[in-house]
Structure 1
Amino acid sequence: MTSSSKTLGDLFGSFRREAFRLETLDDYSKSGNVDAYHTYLAGEPQPEDYNSGWVEELRSHTENGKRVHRVHIVSRPLTDYLRFELGWGYRKNMTGGEEFSILDVTDRLNPLAGVPDFWCFDSESVAVMNYDGAGKYLGSKALEPERVAEFTRYRDTALAHAEPFTEWWAKYGA
């Protein structure tokens, strides 16, 4: 089976060492956790079980020595959605071992302008995430093996220009 015939679920379920995600959008509110986002906007406390399924999946990977990490490209001021995602989502997901970094392009050029959201697994497989203009998730497409090197370069560029989330959040978070 070639990587282009695998689904994102297949790739996430079979990686051996590392899963990396690049996030580029300011608003994913049409893509999931809609009820939680509305709870956040209403000023209500985060539900105890928020993201619990994902946190357990993360923990199953990280406790077995696998790394799950992501970089989000942002510019300030943050959208309401980013305040929700970073304040609720990232901080909760960290309890499962996921690592986060921020590439803040507020005062500099974006070194990855035009690069789509993607997951990269073990530097061997890539799935590009597709969204409509409003940020609604439309599905993913696993890329052909010959495209993997291009996306591992994007990953390396993101990591080289990003700073750890906890340090960035201490300076700019809510």
Structure 2
Amino acid sequence: MRDAYVPADPSFIAFMGGPPYDRGPREAEWHSLIKPAVARGVVVRRARIVSEPVTDYIRYEHAVTESMNLSAGEQVRWLSRRRAADLCLPGTDFWLIDDRLVRFGHFSGVGDLLGHELTEDRSVVKLCSSAFEAVWERAVDHQDYRLV
């Protein structure tokens, strides 16, 4: 739900014209986590809510989605913040795991990761699940989303 994450990320810096960076090991690590889960029948969906026009960081995320996320078996959709204005959303990024656990990610104002928080509180799980489904329903598949 942020427009920028981890500004010191070497892959992002390379994308912006900085020193070359080999994303191969990072992608391999992610694929080793996601591909076996997908092979077991787990559905992995990622929705990105973005401001438009998009930031350089979102351009970077869009550029690496095919090799990092889709090729691992994730499904990815994009939703403009404007089209999400009337949705009830948690105040920070989250992962919903097995409809029983929520992992919130906490970031600084500039996008540095501050930490994570886990909860199995049923009311929080229900809120995050309904929020995600509302976003997913409106969002545009990665293959069809055009950067603005």
When normalised by structure 2's length, the TM-score is 0.85
What is the aligned partner in structure 1 of residue 33 from structure 2?
Answer: 57
What is the aligned partner in structure 2 of residue 9 from structure 1?
Answer: none
Runs of 4+ in structure 1 off by over 6 angstroms are: 43-46
The answer as to whether partners of 1:29 and 1:81 remain within 8 angstroms in 2 is no
Looking at structure 1, the residues matched to 106 and 138 of structure 2 have their Cα atoms a distance apart, in angstroms, of 24
What is the aligned partner in structure 2 of residue 42 from structure 1?
Answer: 17
Task: Spell out the pairing of 1:1-20 with structure 2 (5 A cutoff).
Answer: none
Task: Give the counterpart of 2:142 among 141, 145, 165.
Answer: 165
SS where residue 67 of structure 1 aligns?
coil
The answer as to whether partners of 2:107 and 2:113 remain within 8 angstroms in 1 is yes
Shift of 1:44: 7.4
Q: Given residue 172 of structure 1, which amino acid in structure 2 is its aligned partner?
A: L
Shift of 1:110: 5.1
Q: Which has the higher contact order (CA 8 A, sep 6+)?
A: 1
Task: Give the counterpart of 2:125 among 135, 138, 148.
Answer: 148
The answer as to whether partners of 1:103 and 1:158 remain within 8 angstroms in 2 is yes
Task: Give the counterpart of 2:70 among 94, 112, 132.
Answer: 94
Shift of 1:115: 2.9
Looking at structure 2, the residues matched to 166 and 43 of structure 1 have their Cα atoms a distance apart, in angstroms, of 27
Q: Given residue 62 of structure 1, which amino acid in structure 2 is its aligned partner?
A: V
The answer as to whether partners of 2:12 and 2:60 remain within 8 angstroms in 1 is yes
- Unmatched runs of 5 consecutive residues or more in structure 1: 1-23
Looking at structure 1, the residues matched to 19 and 82 of structure 2 have their Cα atoms a distance apart, in angstroms, of 29
The answer as to whether partners of 1:127 and 1:141 remain within 8 angstroms in 2 is yes
* RMSD (Å) for aligned C-alpha atoms: 2.3
Shift of 1:112: 4.0
Looking at structure 1, the residues matched to 34 and 83 of structure 2 have their Cα atoms a distance apart, in angstroms, of 33
Shift of 1:68: 1.0
The answer as to whether partners of 1:112 and 1:158 remain within 8 angstroms in 2 is no
Shift of 1:83: 0.6
Shift of 1:25: 0.1
What is the aligned partner in structure 2 of residue 11 from structure 1?
Answer: none
Shift of 1:125: 1.1
Looking at structure 2, the residues matched to 124 and 134 of structure 1 have their Cα atoms a distance apart, in angstroms, of 30
Looking at structure 2, the residues matched to 126 and 107 of structure 1 have their Cα atoms a distance apart, in angstroms, of 24
Shift of 1:29: 2.6
Q: Deviations over 1:133-165 (max 9, x none)?
A: 111111111124232111111111111221211
